[in-house]
Amino acid sequence: MSTSIVIPAYSRWDLLHTLLYDLYKNCSLIEEVVVVDNGNDGKYPDVISGLAWWKSTNMLPLEIISLKDNIGFLKASNLGLKAAVEDNVILISTDVRAHKDITEFMKDTQPQSIVGGRLIDWDSGWNTFNGVTYPYLEGYILGATNKAWQELDYFDELFAPHDMEDVDFSAKAVRWDYNLVTFPDGYVTHLGAQTIGYGDERENITKINKEKFGEKWTQLLNLK
List strands edge to edge, sheet with 179-182.
Answer: 62-66, 30-37, 3-9, 88-92, 141-145, 113-116, 179-182
Within 8 A by CB and 6+ apart from 169, the residues are: 114, 136, 139, 142, 152, 154, 155, 156
Q: What's the whole-number mean pLDDT along residues 78-93?
A: 98
pLDDT of residue 69: 86
Mean pLDDT over 145-163 rounds to: 97
If you compute the radius of gyration of the chain from its CA atoms, what whole number of angstroms results? 17
Q: Cα 81 vs. chain centroid, distance in angstroms? A: 9
Q: How does the average pLDDT of the chain come out, rounded? A: 92
Reported confidence tier of residue 44, pLDDT bands at 50, 70, 90 = low
CATH architecture of 3-220: Alpha-Beta Complex (3.90)
Bridge-based pairing state of the strands 30-37 and 3-9: parallel
**Residue 172: how many CB atoms within 10 A of its CB?**
19
Among 62-66, 188-192, 201-205, 216-220, which stretch is predicted with the lowest mean pLDDT? 201-205
pLDDT-derived band at 196, boundaries 50, 70, 90: low
Q: Looking at this protein, which amino acid is placed at residue 145?
A: T
**What is this structure's pTM?**
0.94
In this prediction, residue 224 carries a pLDDT of: 47
Residue pair 144/89 in contact by the 8 Å Cβ criterion: yes
- What are the residue ranges spanned by the domains of the chain? 3-220
Q: What is the mean pLDDT of residues 116-141?
A: 95
Choice between 144 and 68, residue whose per-residue pLDDT is larger: 144
